[in-house]
Structure 1
Amino acid sequence: MSARTYSDAIEHLNSLQSNFATLEAVRLSGGRISESAIPEMVEYLERIGYQQEDLNRLNVIHVTGTKGKGSTCAFTDSILRHVRPDWKVGLYTSPHLVAVRERIRINGAPISEEDFTRFFFEVWDRLETNDNRKLSTTPSKPMYFRYVTLVAFHAFLSMKVDATILEVGVGGAYDSTNIVPRPVVAGVSALGIDHTAVLGKTLREIAWQKGGIYKEGVPALTVNQPQEGMAMLRQQSIDLKASEFEVVPLAPELTDIKLGLAGVHQVQNAKLAIQLVKKFLQIHESVEPEPELSESFIKGLEETKWPGRCQTVPDPKEQTTTWFLDGAHTVESLDCCMQWFVSPDVALRSNDSRLRPARVLIFNCTHGRNGSSFLGTILAKAASQLQLHESAELPGTLFDHVIFCANVTFADGHFKGDLTAVSIPEDDLAQLRTQQELAAAWATLMPSFPSQNIHVLPSIEHAVQIVRGVGKDGIVEVLVTGSLHLVGGLIEVAGLSSVAL
């Protein structure tokens, strides 16, 4: 048998993806199908040679939320690495932008293709060899996210990390990361109200799910939340016997610090990260927290990187092109995105109309989401920001071109291996139904917008070709938003990996 390659690992991993029908069944069940996740994950963990208690050796900081959990993890990771530069710090997040191995990081860097391949097939082979199942309903192999979670646990244990920042995938209580018996500390970032409509759940139900990561004897942290959500989180901390429940206060000390992540919404995420690290060091290292931020804390905040979130990327090939990347995919996160983009630091850098670049919006959203509402949010926030900054521009003329494209990577209809997605309904993809609906919604919201500048395209590569054409006539600035998968594919196709990741 030939040597196994990274491409082989990705091909095997993609065979574990859930199709659209399966994901839709989970959504319609209100998450009840996911209730089997914890016992199944424990079974998979044991089949690859570990017990749940082994995961305590990872010294976990567990983070969930509906907004900002990834950014909070990025801040936490950076702070901890600056405070303890001699440590080996693991970070597990999702989704990835360009390569699956981005999800599993050691000291800020994705594990190598060689390491990912080795750990991937060690898990695969152990599952193949030990097929004894306690539960008759447990599939032989876990689904995509659960499998990558197993690989992360195996990698971090094998590499003997000193600490692990563990981001929940979806929810909390039934998430496959939630099998760590005793993390060092657990935190919940902001609960997005618009998730209640998308998930068909009340804020109380969402808070119950998120608070499900709290554990007996473990500090339970959160940021300020809507009243109903806060009450449920507090109740979860009591029911699950957390050692304490702390609501992270406002952060005036961050006013003079230039955070590594752009956007005013990041202040709350940074403050939660600070408290998570302080609590971790207090428990794990017996280091009493100081009221003032140390130089290493500040440096960690300033040097935090989290690609694809309010990120400015000069094109390394086309000097006339700048990309503004934000994977915002909810009404609230798109509001934050436009607050960042339509500001004097980004799109409104110059008041001289003669220096105004051509602007392009590239947008896509997941099938089933309210694209019209999303576009309405973009335009409404743009209007309020233009008024706030006393700009002469109008929301309808902020962009010269708008592009609605599928998340397919290449013009020939193929995906980059790491970006392959089987969760898009085939008929929707074939007819570009979602993109057509977005274009129609834009035309309705902006009836004066030139119809020839509204583009519906089958791939990200097609979108980049349009941008390259616009860029031939001068400076062009491109906002890419609505989907992290779109942002990741754009980084790949436009050749931005060397500067964006």
Structure 2
Amino acid sequence: MTRTKSYAEAISLLNTCQSNAAAIEAVRKSGGRLQELGIPEMLDYLRRIGYKPDDLNALNVIHVTGTKGKGSTSAFAERIVRSHLPSSSKVGLYTSPHLCAVRERIRINGEPLSEEVFAKYFFEVWERLENDPKTLTPTTPVFPIYFRLLTLLAFHTFLSLGVDATVLEVGIGGTYDSTNIVPKPITTGVSSLGMDHTAILGNTIEEIARNKAGIYKLGVPALSVPQDRAGQVLENYANEIHAPFQVVPIIPETSLGIRGDHQRINASLAVGLAKSFLASPQGGNQTFSEILPESFVKPLAETKWPGRCQRVPRGKVTWLLDGAHTTESLTSCGEWAWSEAKPTALIFNCSGGRASDQLLGSLLQAGASKCGQSKEELGSTLDTVIFCTNVTYTSGAFKGDLTSNAIDPNDLSQLATQHALRDAWLALNPCFPPEQVHVVASIEHAVNIINSQNKAEVLVAGSLHLVGGVMEVAGLQDALGMN
């Protein structure tokens, strides 16, 4: 069959590279370390599309990892750096996951690739892999898994377009992540390492920190936000490999384009990374002595990062969107949501196997503390609670860009996660009317309930995939634009 080389066909081929739920969960629990051949395989894929590792140094990379806030940090850093380079410069940003469209992950000067540009470079990468099918080992697939393929696509796109700087967000972990094949970044940084990830992944904070520190490189500035136990691990590793280590100072309070009190920590790392980059020859040898340079204030205020503490009014409904999905991030979400508004409805989901009572409890406790109420009192201020899957439509279909093989089909057919969430909610709120707690099979079901009841302020949380699906179904795509 003749290829159309359209965006839709690119997404269809890309989706064939998704791993199933079990494989993704295994990698997540290993902190990205499951495949020791991961980096050698990634380097071989790079060779097969026509590049050497040293070619990636031309991207002038700011490399960012962490367990919380690495995406927001990347967005802040990109905006600051772009505002300090000549107007003709191109700044690339590679992040994950996407909300509504895969091409959101690869941006030039804040704008997602167009469908045409995405498809053009996708098929160049795909066909190079097709034309050189010999893999590193007999068990290595001809086409890499989803995230690796997108990373290769980002590298190829940025090199083809001649970017002047690249902000590169790690996917999972650090040492073994597919982004970690750039030999010589300009600067590197680690955002907050959340303690709740240790329980989820079954690793100690020291093990997680050592893995994250794997993005530090010989002679390259190695930055971190203030950490607890993890800080010493990061510093020790940086010293071992002779990377100049710095804990960034927390910037004074200032207006930030991404809402939430916790964003000041992320902005502080972004400021440190931007200073480090701009002080390099690639950044124009620009030096700044202040903790928060005056010229950084405006870009920080102008930074946008969709789906994170985002308020989107639409008709009679105000959507409060936050993809928070850990106990710590849901605490921040609760503080933001109940200071920003008074939610009357909640749409929530989380990945299977997560501690439903802890996640919902963190959200409610934070909101209750903000309002001076108990969790039960705060829960009673909601009159509709909906637990849904991340399936996009009532037909059971996904939008192409939102297709996910990561959902366990057994869990999905029984709505097991959603029923567990319902049980947890009613245990946390024993006086809450059970008939007002809905378990539904798709995001469209959830949005239909909201539209039928004409709710005023709706909080959507627990999953970035859920937030993206709500944005798609509720027609909020215009809120995706960055800057």
TM-score scaled by length of structure 2: 0.96
Contact persistence 2:76–2:300 (CA under 8 A): yes
Q: Where in structure 2 are the equivalents of 1:337-486 lying within 5 Å?
A: 337-343=333-339, 346-348=340-342, 359-387=344-372, 394-471=377-454, 476-486=456-466
Q: Deviations over 1:75-134 (max 9, x none)?
A: 001111111233100000000000000000000000110111011110010001012334
Aligned match of 2:279? 282
AA aligned opposite 1:334: L
> Identity of aligned pairs, percent?
56
Distance in 2, matches of 1:2 and 1:92, equals 27
2:201 to 199, 202, 214: 199
Distance in 2, matches of 1:27 and 1:54, equals 29
* Alpha-carbon distance change, 83 to 249 in structure 1, aligned in 2, over 3 angstroms: same
Contact persistence 2:322–2:462 (CA under 8 A): yes
Aligned match of 1:352? none
Q: Where in structure 2 are the equivalents of 1:287-306 lying within 5 Å?
A: 287-291=286-290, 293-306=292-305
- Deviation for aligned residue 1:239: 2.1
* Alpha-carbon distance change, 394 to 11 in structure 1, aligned in 2, over 3 angstroms: same
Aligned match of 2:61? 60
- Deviation for aligned residue 1:150: 0.2
Contact persistence 1:470–1:476 (CA under 8 A): no
Matched, 1:8 2:9: yes
Question: What is the SS of the residue equivalent to 1:35?
Answer: coil
Contact persistence 1:171–1:209 (CA under 8 A): yes
Q: Deviations over 1:357-377 (max 9, x none)?
A: x71100000011111110111
Aligned match of 1:114? 116
- Deviation for aligned residue 1:32: 3.8
Aligned match of 1:189? 191
The range that moved more, 51-60 or 28-37, is 28-37
Contact persistence 2:384–2:437 (CA under 8 A): yes
CA root-mean-square deviation: 1.6
Gaps of 5+ in 1: 349-357
Segments ≥4 residues shifted beyond 6 Å: 390-393
Matched, 1:495 2:475: yes
Question: How many residues are matched?
Answer: 477
TM-score scaled by length of structure 1: 0.93
Contact persistence 1:72–1:269 (CA under 8 A): yes
Aligned match of 2:325? 329
AA aligned opposite 1:330: T
Question: What is the SS of the residue equivalent to 1:34?
Answer: coil
* Alpha-carbon distance change, 199 to 292 in structure 1, aligned in 2, over 3 angstroms: closer
Distance in 1, matches of 2:426 and 2:444, equals 23
Distance in 2, matches of 1:32 and 1:299, equals 39
Distance in 1, matches of 2:311 and 2:35, equals 37
Distance in 2, matches of 1:420 and 1:409, equals 8
Aligned match of 2:24? 23
Contact persistence 2:217–2:241 (CA under 8 A): yes
Contact persistence 2:365–2:374 (CA under 8 A): no
Question: What is the SS of the residue equivalent to 1:312?
Answer: strand
Distance in 2, matches of 1:286 and 1:78, equals 18
Distance in 2, matches of 1:250 and 1:162, equals 28
Matched, 1:42 2:43: yes
